[in-house]
A and B are shown apart, each in its own frame.
Chain A
C-alpha cells in the first residue's frame, strides 16, 4: 500500500482555458481582436438576443482537433454541444454553450520529465464577457467583446502531487500549445487561464474534500496558491477538522486564498443538449488530415536536437520547451556554414540555456524575442570568441553591455576598446609575475602535477582581468616552466 507522505497525500488537477486565435467568434461572425473598444465586437448572437441561431465556426473544430491530437487524445466521432446553465451577468444568455458527455477529445496525456500526466478531456466552449466591479457601488459594468470567443478547456486527471509538478505541467502544456500555433497563449491578455483543484488525503485511501482555486493570473500564482492551500488544508486536518469543499479566490498581493460566500456559484448547471446546434460528425479522414499536418512538437524536436547536435537531454529539453527559444537556436545554427559540428551546436545551446535564459528570467520577459538580442548578435558574439578577438569571459561582459546599450557585440567591443590580449610579450610578463608569486604551483607543475598549470592560467587571467587569451597563456606558461609536462 502507498506510504503516507506529505507528497503522496496531495492530489492536484488543473483546468486550463485556451482562447483560440480564430478571426471570428465561435458561433457568430464578430471579430475577436484584443483591446477593441468595449461592446464594439458584439452582435445579436453573442449578446444572446431572442430568436438568434448560433452556427459553429469550422476553424474552431479544426483547431480543437489539432490540440486534442497534440495532447494524445482520442477524438469523439460525434460531437454534441450542451447548455451549461448558470446565472451570472458575464453570460447574457444565462447559459454557456459548452460540451458535456461527448467532449471533442479524451484520454490523452502530457509527458513531463519524470511523469506522465493524463488528460481527461479537451472540449470546446464559448468565453464569457468581462465584468468590471465598481468599487463602493452595488453595480458592475459589462463588456461583451470577449463573450463568444472560442475556448478549449483542457482538463488534467488529478495526477499532480506538488505545486512544482503543477508548474512543470503548465510550462510543458504551454510549450505544446505554442507549437500548435492555435493561440497566442498569453496569460496577461487572458488567452491562457488556469484553475486548480487541490485536496489532501486525510488517510492514504480516503479522498479529501476538493477545493477549487480561481483568479490565478500566472503560473507562479498557481504554484504559490497551491502551496498556500496545501498548508491551510494540512493545518485543518492536523487539528482534526474537516476541509470544506468550495471555490476559493487567490489574492496574489496578500498571498492567500479566500472563500467565496456566494450562492450564485452553487454548481447546479442542469446541462442539456443545445437544441440550436445540430450534432457534428468527425470523420476518420478529417482527423487523419489534421494529424498529418501536426507540426513537430517539443519532445520530437528535443530528440532531433540531441541527434543532430549531440546536445545532452536536459539542454535539448530546455531549448525546445518554448517554441521561440528552439526557433532561435535553429536560426543560429542554420546561419552557420554547414555542416555544423556538434561542438559548435553545443556552444550556441550553452549560451541560450545559461546566459540568455538567465537574463530572460531575471527580466521577467515573455520569451527570447523580447530580450532584443537576435540570433545574428549571438552569432557575432561567438564569432568574436572563436576568432580570438575576445575571451570567453569577456564575451559574457560584452553580452550584458550589448543588452544594456542595444549595440551589437562587435560595436560594444570596438566602443570599449576591449580586445583579448594576444600580445605575447604582455602575456609573458604577466606569466613571469605569476610564477614568481606562486612558487608552490610552479614547483608542483615541474614535478608532473598537470592541474597546477590550470591554476596558474587562472591566476594569469585574474591578473589580466580576463583579457589574456587562455590558449596563449597556457602555451607561454608551459614554455616558461619547462618541466616534464611541456
Chain B
C-alpha cells in the first residue's frame, strides 16, 4: 500500500496536527511501513471469529439515574485557556456562508 504525502496531510488535518511539507514527506514512508506491518494480521484466519470490541470479560456496567454533585463553575473553568463570564471561549470554527 502506497501512502502519499497528500494522504498524510489529510490525516494530519483530521488530527489537528500542523505538519511542514518536509514532515509530510518524512512521515509518508513511515506510516506505510507501520501499515504494512499491521497488514500481516490479515493473514490470520478469522471468518469464524466474531469481531472483538472489548478484551475485558466485563459486561453490563450501569449506574442508576441518581444526581451526583457537579463541578463548581469556577472550578470547571479553572484550566480553560480563555473564558468570558461563565462560558468557555474558543476560536470560531463554523464558516457558513
CB contacts (< 8 Å) of A39 on chain B: these are 73, 76-77, 86-88
Residues of the B chain whose Cβ atoms lie less than 8 Å from the Cβ of A144:
76, 88
Main secondary structure of the interface of B (DSSP, over half): loop
Tell me whether A3 is interfacial, beta carbon within 8 Å: no
> Interface code A142-167, partner B: CB below 8 Å = 1, 0 otherwise?
11100000000000000000000000
A263 an interface residue at 8 Å Cβ cutoff? yes
Contact A56 B63 (CB under 8 A): yes
**Which bracket fits the contact residues of B?**
35 or more
Q: Is A376 an interface residue (CB 8 A)?
A: no
Which of the residues A142, A259, A261, A273 comes within 8 Å of B87, measured between beta carbons?
A142
- In chain B, positions 26-76 with a C-beta closer than 8 Å to chain A are 53-54, 56, 58-71, 73, 76
Contact flag A139-B91 (CB < 8 Å), given A57-B63, A87-B16, A249-B96: yes
Does more than half of chain A's interface fall in helix, strand or loop, or is it mixed?
A: loop
B16, B70, B76, B85, most chain A CB atoms within 10 A: B70
| Cross-interface CB contact of B95 among A31, A59, A262, A273, cutoff 8 Å | A262
Between A and B, how many residue pairs show CB distances below 8 Å?
149
Is B97 interfacial (CB 8 A cutoff)? yes
Which residues of A (249-264) have their CB < 8 Å from a CB of B? 249, 258-264
Which residues of A, 32-61, contact B by the 8 Å Cβ criterion?
37-44, 47, 55-61
Q: Is the CB of A58 within 8 A of B62?
A: yes
Question: Which B residues touch A142, using CB under 8 A?
Answer: 87-90
Q: Please tell me which stretch of A20-28, A194-202, A450-458 contacts chain B, meaning at least 4 of its Cβ atoms lie within 8 angstroms of it.
A: A20-28
Bound together, the chains give a CA A138 to CA B66 distance in angstroms of: 39
Would A88 and B87 be within 8 Å (CB), given that A39-B76, A42-B70, A281-B59 are in contact? no
List the interface of chain B (C-beta within 8 A of A): 13-14, 16, 53-54, 56, 58-71, 73, 76-77, 82, 84-97
A residues whose Cβ falls under 8 Å from a Cβ of B = 22-24, 28-31, 37-44, 47, 55-61, 80, 85, 87-89, 131-134, 137-144, 249, 258-264, 268, 270, 273, 275, 277-281
In the complex, the 8 A-B pairs of residues with the closest C-beta atoms, listed nearest first = A29-B68, A141-B87, A273-B53, A59-B65, A58-B62, A38-B86, A142-B88, A89-B90
